[in-house]
Structure 1
Amino acid sequence: MKKLLLFSILVSSSLYSQVRERNDIEIAPFVGINSSNYYGDITYIGDSNKALYTPVFGVTADFYMNNRWSLRTGLEYQTLGSSVYSSELINNPQDNYYYRYFYESEKLNFVAIPIHANIHIGKSRNWHINFGPTVSFLTGANFGGGKVEIDNLRKEHVGFGFGFGYSFNIHENFSLGIEHQEYISFTNNLNYSFNSNNSFIGNIAGNFSVKAIFKIPSSKKEE
């Protein structure tokens, strides 16, 4: 009974129409889970790394040009990196020397700014697809829970983002949304001055998030 009631609420709310006009703004804080890994020079990063799962959160802003297209930007905090296959030499008096193999989290912390076109589709414009460049700034890094220096890493990154989502209209100026985003970096993680082998290591990521969407109607009336 409770599941049926919840389903009825979601369906009825999704049928609630929100009219979006030119100069309207939507502000949407969000939180979600991010999956990331490295790509590029396999001889440098190895082929045994696993995806790294971390929280992602931030706020996006959509500036509407009409009821179908908007420009999306925002401020997002995300952790990229990989679960790195590692080993260490153990000196055991009974077994002499041996290697222990394990996975260690390698995390790169970024503040990201998307600059995306966002198209809103469907009869009530509940679906959207966004795409475009994303600029990121490295703020810190750690390996195995310990902070590491970032002098040998690039601080500014440029990549491409793509995503889609759906919003449940709750009120005239409020919605709840779900969204999936993908990201690929075109920038090498390694600083050129510390990269004597000319290796390339980039970041790829995907995340799923939920968001609260607040509509700020335009004060300018269309004529």
Structure 2
Amino acid sequence: MKKILLSLAALATFGFANAQSRDKGTIEITPKIGISGFSEQNEENYTDSNSGVELGATVDYYFNNRWSLRSGLIADKMGGKYRIEQNILAEDQLNYLSIPVNANWHFGSTRKWNLNFGLSPSFLTSAKVKANGTSIKLPKNTIESFQLGFSYGIGYKIEFTEKFGLLIDAQFFNGLTNINKATDERILNGGYSFNLGGVIQL
């Protein structure tokens, strides 16, 4: 039993200490799941943040062992929480499908860290407001169906084999375009997510 435990410990140490080379043309797919928090911002105030689940998958195309281009499909619940009256808490539940286009810099001596940044176009899939336990669908003329945001994040990859690893990352989103169609007030989405994903090298 002792030999088995020592062998497992040695294997784990080898996986954590050694980097796998990423040549030009290497492709990695990372299905992931996470928790998110988003709020809405006007010129003066922020709403309280909501909570949601982030689901999606990203694809990295490597130019060398330091740089890759990352894109994919990410489903997020954005919006935020706010009080209509003193005893009524409302929540905008805005579901988006985003397609990030980010430069991804892999750094550290073993290239296990990554820092990504770029633009993220998002498409509204559903929009509701929830108050006092009741959800109401928002009319199409109240919320823009498209938004553009700046997305960025940092992550750490644990490699178990040449073809498989685990990615732990934090991603952030700052809206650049107004989502409000109902009034002249400019409103932007903004938030974050913490994610866990399986990295599969093709």
> Where does residue 173 of structure 2 map in the other structure?
183
1:25 aligns with one of 24, 27, 34: 27
TM-score relative to the length of structure 1: 0.80
User: Does structure 2 retain, via aligned residues, the 8 Å contact 1:85–1:104?
Assistant: yes
Counterpart-to-counterpart distance in 1, 2:12 and 2:118: 30
| Offset of residue 11 of structure 1 | 4.7
Correspondent of 2:161 among 166, 171, 180:
171
CA distance in structure 1 between the partners assigned to 2:109 and 2:166 by the alignment:
18
Distance across 2 between alignment mates of 1:212 and 1:64: 17
Structure 1 residues 150 and 170: alpha-carbon distance in aligned structure 2, compared to 1, 3 A threshold? same
Which amino acid letter does the alignment assign opposite residue 188 of structure 1? Answer: N
Normalised by the length of structure 2, the TM-score is: 0.88
* Conserved 8 A contact 1:16-1:170: no
Match of 2:15, SS?
helix
Give the CA deviation at 1:104.
Answer: 2.3
Greater CA deviation, 53-62 or 143-152?
A: 143-152
Equivalent in the alignment of 1:90: none
Aligned in 2, Cα 1:85/1:170: closer, same or farther, shift over 3 Å? same
CA distance in 1, matches of 2:13, 2:194: 21
User: What amino acid does structure 1 have at the position aligned with 2:15?
Assistant: S
Identity %: 30
1:118 Cα shift?
A: 0.3
Q: Counterparts in 2 of 1:1-223, with a 5 A limit? A: 11-42=13-44, 49-87=47-85, 101-144=87-130, 145-191=135-181, 194-195=182-183, 198-216=184-202
Provide the rounded CA distance (Å) in 1 between the counterparts of 2:186 and 2:138.
20
Judge conservation of contact 1:140–1:150 (CA < 8 Å) in 2: no
Post-superposition shift, 1:17?
A: 2.4
Instruction: Please identify, of 165-174 and 136-145, the stretch whose mean Cα deviation from structure 2 is larger.
Output: 136-145
**Is the 8 Å Cα contact of residues 153 and 189 (structure 1) preserved in structure 2?**
yes
Higher Rg: 1
Quote the offset at 1:14 in angstroms: 1.6
Query: In 2, Cα distance between the equivalents of 1:177 and 1:68?
Result: 16
Give distance in 2, aligned partners of 1:64 and 1:33: 27
**Secondary structure of 2:160's partner?**
strand
Q: 1:140 to 1:10 in 2, by over 3 A?
A: farther
- For residues 66 and 32 of structure 2, the distance between their equivalents in structure 1, rounded to whole angstroms, comes to 22
Q: Which segments of 5 or more consecutive residues in structure 1 lack a partner in the other structure?
A: 88-99, 217-223
Q: CA deviation at 1:15?
A: 1.3
Aligned length: 191
State the alpha-carbon separation in 1 of the partners of residues 141 and 95 from structure 2: 14
Tell me the distance in 2 between the aligned counterparts of 1:10 and 1:182.
Answer: 31
Ranges in structure 2 where 5+ consecutive residues have no aligned partner: 1-5
> For the residues of structure 2 that align with 1:190 and 1:37, how far apart are their CA atoms?
14
